[in-house]
Amino acid sequence: MRLIKSGCCGLSRFVILLGCCLFPLIWPAPGAAAGQEIVIGEINPLSGHLAKHGAEIHEGVLYAVEEANSRGGLGGYPLRLISRDDQSKPEVAINQAQNLIHREKVVGLLGGYVDSLVGPISELAAKYRVPYVASASLQRSLTARKNPYFFRVSRLDGLVRPLCQFTAQAMKAKRVAILHTATPGSAEFAASVKSCLEKAGVDVPLLEKFRPGCPDFSVFLLKVRQAKVDVLISGGFYADNLILVRQMQEGPLGLRAFVAPWGVAYQSFVAEMGRGAEGLFGTCAWNPGITLPGTERVSQTFVEGFRQRFGQPPNTTTMHGYTSARALLAAIDAVLTTGVKPTGEAISQALRQLDLSLPMERLKFDEYGDPRFYQQVVVQIQGRQMVPVYPLERATGQVDESLARR
């Protein structure tokens, strides 16, 4: 009798406990149940070693969503953005993506910095048919497989080509050293630049890889001096370039130019490095005052609005976030206009048909999900300002070689 009684109570308690645990999973998530708003998700590194860049992308995305909401949302529906932090870790990015897809039932995903974080999310996007527009991704293999649900607003060729042409044709370099981080995008960048330069008849006697967070480049710089190269190209991130540029100031290297695609073309970098930033070359797809021809007014409006909202000017990383969000929102709007339900498939189809003129680029995706017209410009820091110097059709100033020498 006692056994049955306790067994009964025990079983009931167990069932109740099990029910409580399962309840949140079976109850529909708020966004889906309400049916009165469009829910989109965003995953960025908001903590960890990539937090600076993740925060910038997040601000760009948030601004785009708030901009859309200020105009009444999309198709009369307000937008709700759910932001998640991947802590700069791929495994956390995967968990957050799954949470957004299954629990929050988002109609699209945004964000991402570095391909080690973007790649896993793109796989989930394909698996669960949720369109994902990545803000910062370069690795070719991510789009080579023609993932119908993965799109990105940047591409490697848009960076490699202008950089290679600038180095070989504008600077007329004979010998180049390349330093890059041990990340997929940076490694591919270095290999592509090397190949392009060698085809142009430029020697690359030094190509080295390092782990992000390296505290000392003095030995590498010693090798640069010994190799007697004209130009040093750094595929390191913003923080790595802080140390590299600081150590470059410690002794003559015989360089005619230092070029860093990631990190130099930021006002915050110029502010941190002070005089040490003068003459350095960087690349950017956009910056305040450096915008796609014909989008000057839109760009200025964006800069002013952003500054008012966040108390600081936007930068190229912010613009990548903004552009990716604009792409997704435009696609959702296009679907809603036709009266079709915004499913993953419909939105992806709409993304493929997009043709938007934005400050950063004319955004039109190719069959792989890459942006057709993405191109960065080479800038030189002159008088603490970023002056576009290449390609010539976008240049507003000239290369100052005396300033560039190290």
Q: Does 76 bind another protein (CB under 8 A)?
A: no
Find the part of the chain contacting another protein (CB under 8 A) among 3-11, 43-51, 156-164, 380-388.
Answer: 43-51
With helix as H, strand as E and coil as C, how does 249-266 read?
CCCCCCCCEEEECCCCCC
Which one of 51-59, 72-80, 123-131, 332-340 is the stretch in contact with another protein (CB under 8 A)? 51-59
Position of tokens 């150590």?
247
Residues across the chain: 406
Q: Does residue 189 touch another protein according to CB under 8 A?
A: no
Q: What is the smallest separation between the CB atom of 213 and another protein, expressed in angstroms?
A: 6
On the 0-12 / 13-18 / 19+ scale of CB atoms within 10 A, 214 is middle
Tokens 């990548």 appear where? Answer: 320
Which residues are within 8 A (CB) of 2 and not within 5 positions of it... i.e. 6 or more apart? none
User: How far is it, in rounded angstroms, from Cα 25 to Cα 40?
Assistant: 19
Residue from the set 24, 211, 393, 402 that interacts with another protein by CB under 8 A: 211
- Interhelix angle 218-227/238-248, rounded to 10 degrees, is 60
CA-derived radius of gyration, the chain: 24
Contact region with another protein (CB under 8 A), list: 166-174, 250-258, 284-292, 363-371: 250-258
Q: Which of 206, 203, 198 is nearest to 180 (CA)?
A: 206
Q: Decide if residue 246 touches another protein (CB under 8 A).
A: yes
364 binds another protein (CB under 8 A): no
Stretch that binds another protein, among 49-57, 282-290, 296-304, 313-321 (CB under 8 A): 49-57
Identify the residue among 5, 70, 219, 402 touching another protein (CB under 8 A). 219
Residue 339 touching another protein (CB under 8 A): no
Helix (H/G/I), strand (E/B), else coil: 85: strand
Nearer to another protein, 4 or 219 (CB): 219
**Under rule CB under 8 A, residue 72 binds another protein:** no
- In the block, tokens 């708030």 appear at 66
Q: How far is the CB of 233 from another protein (least distance, A)?
A: 15
Footprint (CB under 8 A) of another protein, residues 14-33: none
Tell me: does residue 49 bind another protein (CB under 8 A). Answer: yes
How big is the site for another protein, counted in residues (CB under 8 A)?
42
Per DSSP, the three-state class of 311 is coil
Number of H helices, E strands in the chain: 15, 14
**Range in contact with another protein (rule: CB under 8 A) among 18-26, 129-137, 153-161, 234-242:** 234-242
- Residue 205: CB atoms within 10 Å: 14
Distances (CA, A) of 387 to 316, 397, 399: 14, 6, 9
Shortest gap between Cβ of 40 and another protein (angstroms)?
Answer: 23
> What percent of the residues of the chain are helix, what percent strand, and what percent coil, each to the nearest 5?
50, 20, 35
Q: What single-letter amino acid sits at 16?
A: I
Q: Contact, 384 vs 403, CB < 8 A?
A: no
Report 190-209 residues binding another protein (CB under 8 A): 208-209
Smaller CB separation from another protein, 182 or 200: 182
Query: Which of 98, 116, 165, 268 touches another protein (CB under 8 A)?
Result: 268
47 contacts another protein (rule: CB under 8 A)? yes
Residues 270-309 that bind another protein (CB under 8 A): 272-276
149 to 188: interface string for another protein, x by CB under 8 A: ------------------------------x--x------
Exactly one of 10, 19, 28, 48 binds another protein (CB under 8 A); that residue is 48
> What is the C-alpha separation between 14 and 274, in angstroms, rounded?
65
**End-to-end Cα separation, the chain, in angstroms:** 90
Q: Rule CB under 8 A: which residues touch another protein?
A: 46-49, 51-52, 54-55, 88, 179, 182, 208-211, 213-220, 222-223, 225-226, 238-239, 242-243, 246, 249-252, 268, 272-276
